[in-house]
Structures are given as C-alpha cells and as structure tokens.
Structure 1
Amino acid sequence: MAHSPRLVVYAALAANVGIAVAKFIAAAISGSSAMLSEGVHSLVDSINEVLLLHGLRRSQRPPDRDNPLGFGRELYFWSFIVALLVLALGAGFSLYEGVNHILSPEPLRDPTLNYIVLAVGAVFEGASWWLSLKSVQRRKGKLSYFEAFRTTKDPTTFSVLFEDSAALLGLAIAALGVYLSHALGDPRIDGWASIGIAVVLALASIMLARESKALLIGEPAQPKLLAQVCSIAGKVKGVEAVNGMLTVQMGPDQVLVAVSAAFDDRLTTVEIEECVRTIEARTKEARLPIVALFVKPQTPERWRERLRELDGTGEP
C-alpha cells in the first residue's frame, strides 16, 4: 500500500504528541535532564509535523494571477523553518539543560518510570520510523539513501525520517545516560547524555537545512524529466534540434521549463508559434509536472554561448 507524505506526517505527529507528554511527566518525577531534553525534542518534533502539514496544504493551492507558477515553494520554506526549529529549540535547549545539569548536578530519583517511557517511546517512534522508511524506499528506486536525500524534490518524508532517526538515537542516549547516572551515582552523566542529544539534533538540523536551502534557491529538475521534454520537442515537425533546456523545481510536482530549440529557417513566425503550441499540448498529454513551459528559438551556437556564460568560463 502506498503511503502519502501526509499520512507519514500524521503518523509521526500522533506518536510525538503522546510521547512528549509522557517524557515530561517522567522528567518531573525522576529529575532526569536527558529525559527533559527528550521531552522538548518530542515537543519540537510535534510542532515540526504541524508546520509540515501546513506547508503541504498551502503548497497544493492552484496557481492564480498573482502567483502564476503556483505555491510549491511554500513547502520548501516551511521545511527550512522546521530545520531551524530543530536546531534552535531542540538542540539549543538540550545543550543548555545538559550544561546546567553538569554544573549543578542533582541526584536522580527512581528511574523506573523513565525506562518505561523510553521503552514505549521507542515502540511508537520505531513504528513511525518504519512507516517513513518504507515510503522513502518506494520513492528512492535504485538510488542510495544519501543520493535519494540529495536529489529529492519532496523534503516531507525525508524530514520525518530524519526526525524519527534522531528521536530513536536520542532515546538510546537518554536511556544510557539515565542508567549510567543511576548505576554509578554520578548525575553529571545524565547531563552529558543531554549534550549528546543536542549534538544529534544539531547534525540532523544542519542536513535538513542544507537540502531545504538548495530547494528554496532553485534546483534543476530530475534528468528523467529533461529527457522526456527533449524527446517530445524533438519529434515536433519544424523543430530541427533541441539545444537544451533550463529547469527550476518550483515544488515537489511543479517544474518551470525553458527550452532552447532550433527551428527550420523557412518557417514563418506563425508556424513557429504553432510548433510551440504543439510542444505545450504534447507535454500536457504526457502529464508531466510542468507549471510553465517557455520555448525560445535559438541557434545551437547561441545556446552553447549561453552555457559558457553560465559556467563563467567564457570558453567553449
């Protein structure tokens, strides 16, 4: 069964809300710094899921006169905000709490509730992680996970997978911190566990922010789409050659395409316009995720010159 990005986010949200409440209760009873950091971690993740759902909803609005290219980048914007929240709130609070607990250590009270909450949290986080992992596996095809993450145009599922992975690692660090702190009678270990959680969250945040930034600035579309458009345009009568194209990903399923094509010199302006309309019609028939298609009559030499300008080399 296919899982939509929205379903993956809902599953993660449901898990994080319940776990956050349980962690805060356990932290209040036991006095564990690592458990408090984990509670804030789950709370931040819950806020993040709400923001991702908000971004998904707004990004799917149809184009209008003021926004003719659609609203796809709203999702990229909110994904970037999510990455910043993970760093500022999650990692920032965990670091503060850990340092504070090391400088002013307080002995842990009965850690039993902590272990119960951590075990239950691992079950729910694990279920959410598995759901997001299966969704990523279906989307990545033959690519490695890292390649799929770097080339994805839909950050939603990967954001949830990163959050859940960081959550599971954070649970393991918290459990180890609580155990060693209690077993060795050194409450500072619990503070170091909180700092470890901060490091995990900071690394996840940096990776998510880097990918969201690239999508916000404007990444090119997948090579497969380029090949499809080139094939369609090249088969239109009157088009002598498709020199190439420039693309910008405007959203997960929204692409801006500018095609450079060489037309038969004998064609009139009206006939060239008809060729362009044919290209547009055939791309729509192919159901390609193109929100805007621009075709520019251009000689191969001028196209190569333009590429040299973009490369900044000035060389052929």
Structure 2
Amino acid sequence: MAEAEVNSESVGTVVVAGAANLAIAVAKLVAGIISGSAAMLSEAAHSVADTTTEVLLYLALRRGARPADVRHPFGYGKESYVWAFLAALFTFVAGAGFAITHGVTTILVHEHSGDYLISYVVLAVSFAIESVSLARAVRQVRGESRRWGTTPRRFLRLTADTTVKAVFLEDSAALIGLLIAGVGLGLSQWTGDELFDGVASILIGLLLLVVAAILAKSNISLLVGRAVPERLHHEIERELAGLPTVDRVDTLLTMQLGPDDILVAAKVDFRDEATGAEIEAAADEAERRLTDRYPEIGYVFLDPTRSLPGAGRRARRTQEEPGPVGDAPLGTAYPGPAGGVRPTGGPSDQEADGRG
C-alpha cells in the first residue's frame, strides 16, 4: 500500500471506550475514597488503566497508519503493535498490580471506613456506561465477522486488529469486574467482614492479568512477523500457480506488516520456454491479480527459480511449524473483494493452534 488509512470505525470504538473509562474512573475513585472499599479503589485503578490503554491504542491506530518513507519502505504498520503491547503491559502493571496489592492489604487490615450506598450507586452507573462502550465494540466485531463469514468468537480469537480486540476484552472485563466488586461489597456489608471486599479486589486484579496476558501474546506474535491465515495462503498460491507461464510455486512466504498491510514473497518456477518479456509480464499480472482481489496486499515479490530434481508440485510451507492446521475447514474462505479472502486484521490459523 502506498499510504495506509486509519480505520475510522476502530478509532470511534477506541474514543468512545476512552471517554467512558475516564468518566467512570473519576466516579469510582471518589466512591472508593468516601467508602473506603478496596474493591471500589481497585475498580478505579482498573478504569484508570483502561483509560490509559485507550490512549495508547489511539496512538497505535494513528502511528501505525503513517505512509511508507525512505527509512521505512514497508510502512509503520508494526508500530501499532508496539503501542498495543505497551497498553497491555500498562494494564498488567498498573491495574492488576494495584488491585491485587490493595486487596491483600484490605484482608490483612480488615478496616472499612464510610458508607456502602455511594459505592452501589457508582457501580450501577458505571455498569450502564460500560455497557454502551461494549455495545459499540460488539457491533464492530459482529460486522467484521459477518463480512468474513466467520463467528464473532473466532474473529476475536484470531484477528490481527488488536485495537478492537483490546477494547472488547477490556470492556467485557470491566463489566465482570463491576459485578465482582458488587458481590464483594454486598457480602462484606451483610457479614460485617471485609475479607470479601479484599477477595473481590484480588479477583479483579487476576481478571486484569488474564486480559493483559492475552493481548500481550497476540501483539508479540504480530511484532515477530506472523503469516497470513492458512486459507489465504492457499488462495495466493493458487493465484500464482494459475498464471500461464508459471510451472509451479516453489516457496511462498507471507507476513502481516500491519492490520491493513500484507507482504507476499515467492520463489516461482516459470516454464522453460518462457521468454524474459513473458516472465516480466507474468510478474506484473501476478501483482495485479493479487492486489485487485486482496487490496490489503501491499507488496508482491516474485523470484524466478529453477526446478529442483524430484521436487513436488506444491509450494514449500517454510512459514509453518509442525502441528495441526487451524480449527476451521481448509476450504472455508472469508469473503472479500471478487469472492476472495479478506485479510485485513483477519483471523490467523497459526494463532488458533498456538503457533502465533
């Protein structure tokens, strides 16, 4: 791609989530200070972490969409994963660390100063606001999964669009955390024992740890250089092998340069009788076919190679590690332009079986 464009829908989702988390963080902090509840203060830290995360995700979208230049000829798509990883790291350190530490302190001290009522009111209002933010993320997830012909669950598990994945997971965790805080407060008020408030705070911290670990793993995989999904790999291979002057595709390598940018490199064995002009024309035709069918493919490099004695007719899968293929049927393809596979931030089979 000559110039990447910011996904406006993802930007809107991140902005809505950030505004909601900022308002909720202030309300929870005030309620936590007045009531003295460990769970409420942990929820305030949770919302502060989420707000900071949204700022980092916004930076990820903006910085990653910058066009390629001389120093970065493949663009800045991978930078979006750097900022998204930092967002996951902040959730791990700030949100989870504070919640668990404060919960342990509350269990040891067993003190509660203040009224419970304000905490319940803030929890209820926060739940309503978080639901609005989550509803937008769910709407985007459903729309993207329908476009690809896959399920929302599979899309979330395998997508390379880490911004929408982060917002969905964080908003879901926020709602679960609010319920945990409410139960902890209710049990503490009912029994008069602050143990439940402290345990609720620790559970909220553990919940944040899980979310941070999932997001960190996904972003590390993409930073290292993850290949496109298995089914898309086969589609690209078939497109190249279908060129008139191509005898076979010896090696095909792909890499996700960003949520909206893909690199394709292949060693191609052209027919022995093909002339230099025909090989050049075939290379141009290959790039035209691939970019027309899959607009997210920004770079196509073909390397003419000689046939190896006894070599098979199938492209060597040097990008794979040993192990099972993805959980979806190999013949199932995500719909895209001209009936092809749409790879933008799309699911990766490697991640499905623990290879991403």
Q: Same fold (TM over 0.5)?
A: yes
What corresponds to 1:40 in structure 2? 45
Give the alignment's Cα RMSD to 1 decimal. Answer: 2.4
Report if the CA contact (8 A) 1:108-1:181 is conserved. no
Q: Does residue 283 of structure 2 align to residue 241 of structure 1?
A: no
2:33 matched to which residue of 1?
28
Pairing partner for 2:84 from 79, 82, 96: 79
CA–CA distance in structure 2, aligned partners of residues 222 and 79 of structure 1: 21
Q: Which amino acid aligns with 1:126?
A: S
Q: Distance in 2 between the 1:21 and 1:68 partners?
A: 43
Which whole-Å CA distance do the structure 2 matches of 1:281 and 1:149 have between them?
31
Query: Is the Cα–Cα contact under 8 Å of residues 107 and 186 in structure 1 kept in the other structure?
Result: no
8 A Cα contact 2:251 2:315, kept in partner: no
**Secondary structure at 2:256 match in 1:** strand
Q: Name the structure 1 match of 2:65.
A: 60
Letter in 2 for 1:199: L
| Partner in structure 2 of residue 188 of structure 1 | 195
Identify which of 151, 159, 162 aligns with 1:155: 162
Deviating more after overlay: 230-239 vs 272-281: 230-239
**In structure 2, what residue type is equivalent to 1:95?**
I
Runs of 4+ residues over 6 Å off in structure 1: 302-306, 308-313
Listed as ranges, the matches of 1:1-316 within 5 Å are 4-141=9-146, 142-243=149-250, 245-286=252-293, 288-299=295-306, 301=308, 307=316
In the aligned structure 1, how far is the partner of 2:113 from the partner of 2:124?
19
User: Percent of counterpart pairs with the same letter?
Assistant: 37
Change in 2 beyond 3 A, CA 1:280/1:311 = closer
Report the CA distance between 1:192 and its aligned residue: 1.1
Tell me, what secondary structure is at the counterpart of 2:264? strand
5+ unaligned residues in a row in structure 1: which ranges? none
Task: Report deviation, 1:53.
Answer: 0.5
1: distance between equivalents of 2:88 and 2:102?
A: 20
Aligned length: 312
Letter paired with 1:111: Y
**How big is each residue's C-alpha offset from its partner over 1:79-119, in whole Å with a ceiling of 9 and x where there is no partner?**
11111111111100001100111111212421111011000
Cα offset, 1:188, TM superposition: 2.3
Q: 2 CA distance for matches of 1:67 and 1:91?
A: 36
Q: TM-score, normalised by structure 2?
A: 0.81
> Cα gap change, 1:300/1:22 in structure 2, threshold over 3 Å: closer, same or farther?
farther
Q: Secondary structure at the match of 1:4?
A: helix
Give yes or no for contact 1:244–1:261 (8 Å, CA) kept in 2: yes
1:290, 1:62 → 2: CA distance? 15
In structure 2, what is the Cα distance between the partners aligned to 1:52 and 1:235?
40
Counterpart residue number, 2:343: none
Amino acid corresponding to residue 148 of structure 1 in structure 2: F
Distance 1:143 1:284, change over 3 A: closer
Distance 1:312 1:90 in 2: 35
Q: Distance in 1 between matches of 2:98 and 2:316?
A: 47
More helix by percentage: 1
